[in-house]
Structure 1
């Protein structure tokens, strides 16, 4: 066949440190690139003629040799991509439009998801029409993509520092994942390219550096804002370029948006991700760039572009970080398939490379699991997985060959809870207890012991995410006055530390009587608070009065007004429109002596709630979570007796909420893992 004129080496990539390197050694052991291309064309079926048109177009003129190689790169990797079409998908994608249209109206994303489900019925991916790229992509679409990719690569001043290898992997691809195909390059180029006119005209900025272009572009775009939420209808494929431009949704949608725009303007970028964050239950992804020197940067809304090694991202708990690639990691695929076993979905068709080293300072090149920690028995699978915790489940994030005795995982970030398992008959079979490796390389296994302890619990989920609100209370004051304008006032109590529980009880400094009492937030805190209750001396019922305060909330929709502070609902809060000067209080009618004050911080509702039903579990041997009993909370804390020491715990709330996280109990407090 004429189109198969010569062996050409396909772009393959290796990540070493913070630099991308291009290799021309082929992407599969002992398989020439010409065989990969022919294999792809055979899978195209009736669409083979369309793909051959593309190859024929670019092999005629020697000046198009790079375009021919680019076409081969795309076609060889096409068999691994499938997209979906159907009316139900179109209906569910309106969720992102509704997020934009209801911005600032106080309508929760959960309510939007429920409404769409009610209107259109359940979403099932297998109810849609699935289409394989290799069987459907036509010559016009592919050539248009190649022409536009080469245009921006060659015309933009920063393209001079973009190699052909980087171009193929991070500029050329016509898709991100499983989104419905569309021609997006030209429209996005014409819409966003003017944002870089000032850079191209600059005589000061280094316009030849891709990271300078990325910064200028994203600084302009992020001023427009985004509607960010972790809530989305389940099982949706990628939303595609049109929906992504609405800048609504989760980290997946916002990173997809940045990829489309950057690639349309010739700025190479990649999506890097952690399959599971080491201290939460979710995955997370962001955009990565390299400058002309190879230094790694990252971006996620609403922040700017930061150098990875100079940013806190390296300290975020994680076990593994991978980079999405358009090309299949054939070396990894071949190594795993050679072990002749069922492979978990993450690694089944791996379009990824390991970049963990670039994102951590607590790095372990080889994690050798002590033989004494491995359960007895023989594995049916020759692949062992290192797993991260997700609620009461475990999710594979790394793999190695396993013979039942030796376990060595490579390139791991230390500090997170891990566990080893094999994947057998569709289920994980565990081979170790959960464990951590600290910065001194010491193993700490969570193995239940015979010793027990009593525990007092204040939350069901890590309060790390609450710190933003809790810290905003430090320096806040409760004041009393007999002047409605508080021109003369006394401080009843000053908050000097962040609250640790739903309800903090403090005693008033003053024994005087006041008609007017209030909470006033510290500077730059928007007076964030959820609830306040003032009690008279010896009273068991909070004082009543007319709610007074400074009107106006940051959301400008009435959802976070000062009246929320006294509505008895800990899920509503005050968020003053200005950074400073906001307050909420009561006119008691007549002067009253204040004995104690009870206050609740603004929160995500993960504290222990009075009246809610809870169940505490501990991680027992093998794969079991044992219950320590159910109870209904009578206050903002729970007490359990005879809890096994040195084990992982998880508290489940049956009354509300979905956020729960493993923890250990140490030195009389919950330590989230």
Structure 2
């Protein structure tokens, strides 16, 4: 009996110190910092009134094991803190008690400008020591102190209980929307919520609108004022001081800082991101504000570079950065030893594509012998591999299928899985289209060749489709006119030609209706659209002397072998050049731009000659992305056959490319190996390129929810 009593005495204290399994796992990884984390747990567990705070502490410590830093910012002294405090206090006098909507008015912009000049003079006299960066691996469990965690938790609960924007949250929602001290897994820097709230609360409180827009206006104005005042070029990321030291256009740091600050203030917010776009190569992070209504508010929102067709320009999928591990993330679903794409190799990831697009559940046959639990849908991405992960699905080996929960309509997918660390295709590329809008059913449209052994000849004109907004800009050039004059002020101007239809997005030639010598020539944009969209203008003549030292005209585009044969040896025109001795400003003027990708933006484009000369032809190119075939560039054609395969490489001699003996009826990809990033797959039918998302597989605007 005594032995049993002694055993209970030994067991009970041990049992009382036992924490949840996930917390114990983190504590075992904390090393010498274990005592600091246990201090937090004991602090909240001993008081019954703090039961929720204890659960919050357990949540943070449990999931802390998934987070680490790869850099630490070391400030050599306190000068940056002191200067921030001084400028912070001056900001009150600079802005006064103005309304949110007046923050960016001209009056206050000028007022702030003079404040900032005075501040910069003081800083120049007493320079700020900028931080240095220490690189390494700094796991959160080994470096977070009890003081940091306790004050952070206290601030989070205060914000949750007092903020009208967060009070409706359940505890489960609070744990992800307010409580975390990190917004993005793996981001090198994190801050204490109490400190962030101390820095920003006073200025966010001054919002007169008291809504998300008002808070964002205050946040942007304050950070811009401090940054402009400090004017320190710190090009390495340093956590929250990224907002004030120099300017960094890094969407990750912008989203991370904004999310942490607004959470500390009591506004529920998350960081969502995409890993690719439908029509360009990149990824992007942005903040999404969560409220009790169906309203969707964003900060630094994932943008669509073509505003006329956002449904084709946006991302194919979206993911949420979470603090806690997600049971439905690929990391938690994968088999032991299963390889994952880099983007998905974290448990703190939640797919939220359904919050942005109309999605559906799709099952695909899968009979591959693999130990894996997951398969993936990849989308096109202009990278060396040609694809990027879009979503994952669970393999059901009993039914020999894989189920994907978040498939977006009218998006080209490449079904794939990993064999070891090699990505392997298991089905043909496909997209889904609504079969019946009332029932919500869909049909799978596979892209497969009708004749797998047939070969064909392809005549290619572009690597990327014409952009709708550039075509719209070209339409605005209708009514633009070319004039000649012999007086510098064009008081004796003569109309030579008026643009009557939208120019093509390449070189074209106009013939002046009057041909006599003029010393001055110009292009005048139409009055309703006075910003010229011209990239290159060439005034041509065939009447010249050797002393004129004229250069050959840029050849007109040749789009077919037949035209190439007809035009061979016919070019006789030379382009006039300005009198730069008398008019040196025309040496680098927009009239003589050598790239089609940059417009002049001027209302008039003038050329002044040394002597009057006749203009026989006018060749122009409006602003365009130069995604047509460019002479001298090196191109590679690929076609899809379970992977991207090489069909040949050519250097362009004309504005078309001729590829012979190419497998027909495939999905093709033309790469410009010389320059440029914009490329898009296409089909080839009736001697035409049909680009995805523009000419075929066209997304519907109704499928874009935001």
TM-score class normalised by the smaller sequence: 0.7 to 0.9
Deviation at 1:525, TM superposition (A): 6.5
SS at match of 1:144: helix
Q: Tell me, yes or no, if structure 1 residue 516 matches structure 2 residue 516.
A: no
1:492 to 492, 497, 509: 497
SS at match of 1:566: coil
Match of 1:153 among 156, 160, 180: 160
User: In the TM superposition, what is the alpha-carbon distance from 1:79 to its structure 2 partner?
Assistant: 0.5
2:463 pairs, out of 457, 460, 463, with 460
Per-residue deviation, 1:53: 0.7
Aligned to 2:445: 444
Shift of 1:270: 0.9
The residue number in structure 1 matching 2:669 is 650
Partner Cα separation in structure 2 for residue 387 and residue 75 of structure 1: 35
Q: Deviations over 1:39-58 (max 9, x none)?
A: 22223232221101111222
| Contact residue 617 and residue 625 of structure 1 kept, 8 A | yes
Summarize the Cα distance change of 1:292–1:590 in structure 2 as closer, same or farther, 3 Å threshold: same
In structure 1, what is the equivalent of residue 317 of structure 2? 320
Quote the Cα distance in structure 1 between the aligned partners of 2:170 and 2:620.
58
| Residues 331, 346 of structure 2: 8 Å contact kept | no
Listed as ranges, the gaps of 5+ residues in structure 1 are 8-32, 91-124, 228-235, 305-309, 553-559, 577-581
Question: Contact 1:214–1:267 at 8 Å: present in 2 too?
Answer: no
Say whether residues 1:613 and 2:623 are aligned partners.
no
Q: Which residue of 2 aligns with 1:108?
A: none
Match of 1:65 in 2: 51
Give the SS at the match of 1:52: helix
The separation in 2 between residues aligned to 1:220 and 1:520, in whole angstroms, is: 39
Counterpart in the other structure of 1:565: 591
The aligned residue for residue 84 of structure 1 is: 70
Displacement of 1:491: 5.6
Alignment of 1:545-564 (within 5 A): 545-546=578-579, 563-564=589-590
The aligned residue for residue 390 of structure 2 is 397
SS in 1 for 2:575: coil
Corresponding position: 1:356 with 2:353: yes
* CA shift in 2, pair 1:220/1:593, >3 Å: same
SS where residue 277 of structure 2 aligns?
coil
CA distance in 1, matches of 2:218, 2:588: 38
What pairs with 1:234-249 in structure 2 (closer than 5 Å)?
A: 240-245=239-244, 246-249=246-249
Query: 2:176 is paired with a residue of what secondary structure?
Result: helix
Name the CA shift for 1:250/1:158 in 2 (closer, same or farther; >3 Å).
same
2-structure distance, mates of 1:568, 1:333: 49
Following superposition of structure 1 onto structure 2, how do residues 321-340 of structure 1 map, counting pairs within 5 Å? 321-332=318-329, 336-337=333-334
2:583 is aligned with 1:588: no
SS in 2 for 1:401: strand
State the distance in 2 between where 1:254 and 1:561 align: 40
Shift of 1:413: 0.8
- Residue in 1 that maps onto 2:172: 165
Which stretch shows the higher mean deviation, 657-666 or 39-48?
657-666
Change (3 A) 1:546 1:443: farther
Residue 367 of structure 1 is matched in structure 2 by: 362
Q: Contact 2:408–2:432 at 8 Å: present in 1 too?
A: no
Q: Report the CA distance shift for 1:347/1:612 in structure 2 as closer, same or farther (over 3 A).
A: closer
Q: Secondary structure at the match of 2:287?
A: strand
Hey, what's the Cα distance between the residues in 1 that align with 2:498 and 2:56?
A: 69
Contact 1:324 1:351 in 2 (8 A): yes
Give distance in 2, aligned partners of 1:491 and 1:162.
69
The equivalent of 2:683 in structure 1 is 664
CA displacement at 1:189 relative to structure 2? 3.5
What corresponds to 1:535 in structure 2?
A: 540
Is the alpha carbon distance of 1:273 and 1:198 closer, same or farther for their aligned partners in structure 2, counting shifts above 3 Å?
same
Instruction: Indicate the residue corresponding to 1:54 in structure 2.
Output: 40
Which 10-residue stretch deviates more, 186-195 or 465-474? 465-474
Displacement of 1:290 after TM fit?
2.3
SS in 2 for 1:616: strand
The CA deviation string for residues 460-489 of structure 1, in whole angstroms up to 9 with x for no partner, is: 345549739955863472411314333444
In 2, are the aligned partners of 1:171 and 1:263 still within 8 Å (CA)? Answer: yes
1:378-433 per-residue CA deviation (whole Å, 9 max, x = no partner) reads: 34534211111223432332222333942331121122221111112111011122
Rate the CA distance shift 1:350–1:63 in 2: closer, same or farther, 3 A: same
Distance in 2 between residues matched to 1:139 and 1:550, nearest whole Å: 71
- Cα deviation for residue 367 of structure 1 reads 1.7
Matching residue of 1:28? none
Match for residue 630 of structure 1? 650
Please name the residue that 2:181 is paired with.
174
Could you tell me how far apart the structure 2 residues matched to 1:78 and 1:288 are?
23
Aligned to 2:53, what secondary structure does the other structure show?
helix
Q: Deviation of residue 509 (structure 1)?
A: 4.9
User: Where does residue 45 of structure 1 map in the other structure?
Assistant: 31
Larger Rg belongs to = 2
Q: Does the 8 Å CA contact 1:380/1:424 hold for their aligned counterparts?
A: no
Deviates more, 1:314-323 or 1:129-138: 314-323
Q: Distance in 1 between matches of 2:168 and 2:584?
A: 54
Over 3 Å counting, the alpha-carbon distance change for 1:345 and 1:612 in structure 2 is closer
Moved more, 37-46 or 515-524: 515-524
Whether the aligned pair in 1 keeps the contact of 2:204 and 2:215 (CA below 8 Å) is no
Question: How many residue pairs were aligned?
Answer: 572
The TM-score with structure 2 as length reference comes to 0.70
Q: CA deviation at 1:139?
A: 0.8
- Which residue of the partner structure matches residue 132 of structure 1? 139
Deviation by residue 1:157-201 (Cα, 9 ceiling, x = unmatched): 4333444333321222212332344545455434443443443xx
**Normalising by the residue count of structure 1, what TM-score does the alignment of the two structures yield?**
0.73
